[in-house]
Structure 1
Amino acid sequence: MKKFYVLLIIASTILFQFCATKKGGKSKKAAKITYTANMAGIITSNCAPCHIPPKGNKEPLNTYAALKANIDESIIRINRNPGEKGFMPQRHPKLSDSLIHVFVQWKADGLLEN
């Protein structure tokens, strides 16, 4: 239940981050996705304990450098469907499209740390 609320808060934060308001006919650009502000919480909520040391026995993804080095593989795996070989998060429901979009957008924004 706690994980559900954490996911709800993260998803709400991300959703509102992409909302644009109009002032004077111009819309504000959405803030760029960063590891610190966006990705770290998603990894902690959705990739633990498998990818979070010391309990995790899979490729660690709990640091900026680790996730940056594995972003392409991570995007491929979270886009797979349950039952497909290599699907992540293994033994859990597929991530929502909005969370998957955050991974893709982080890469498109240049894999920013802060």
Structure 2
Amino acid sequence: MKKIRLLTLIIPLSLLIVNCSTSKKRKSDYVEVKKISYKTDVEPIIANSCTPCHIPPQGKKEPLENYDHVKANIGAILERVQLPQDSRKFMPPVNKKPALTADQISVLVKWQQQNMTE
């Protein structure tokens, strides 16, 4: 009789433990992806690294003054900021602004991959 009681306690407890550890594994499988937006993430990078050359009225180059312009040119922007710094097409020019960091480039890449939300 004692064995039956013990078994009736052990079986539900073991099921509870198994289910708890499984749910923890499921939660860790989900990775939260931060949604990148133009206003909060991309615009500050452009404003800091592309002024005054690409921001009218002073800028005489391809304008990057708003969402539509940056969205239309994101491919070229990514191409140019990832060139070797000694390339004449590298942006921003070495003598004018510091190069974008790997994190800043990553933000631009993710924004493009996430369909460039405003």
TM-score if structure 1 supplies the norm length? 0.73
**1:98 and 2:110 matched:** no
Unaligned runs of 5+ in 1: 1-23
* Higher helix residue share: 2
In structure 1, the partner of 2:40 is: 37
| CA drift at 1:63 | 0.4
The number of equivalent residue pairs is 92
Contact persistence 2:84–2:90 (CA under 8 A): yes
Deviation sequence 1:19-63 (CA, Å, 0-9, x none) = xxxxx5355513211111111111111110001111111111110
TM-score if structure 2 supplies the norm length? 0.70
Percent of residue pairs bearing the same amino acid type:
37
CA-atom RMSD, angstroms? 1.8
Unaligned runs of 5+ in 2: 1-26
In structure 2, the partner of 1:108 is: 113
Q: 1:56 aligns with which of 55, 59, 64?
A: 59
Whose radius of gyration is greater, 1 or 2? 2
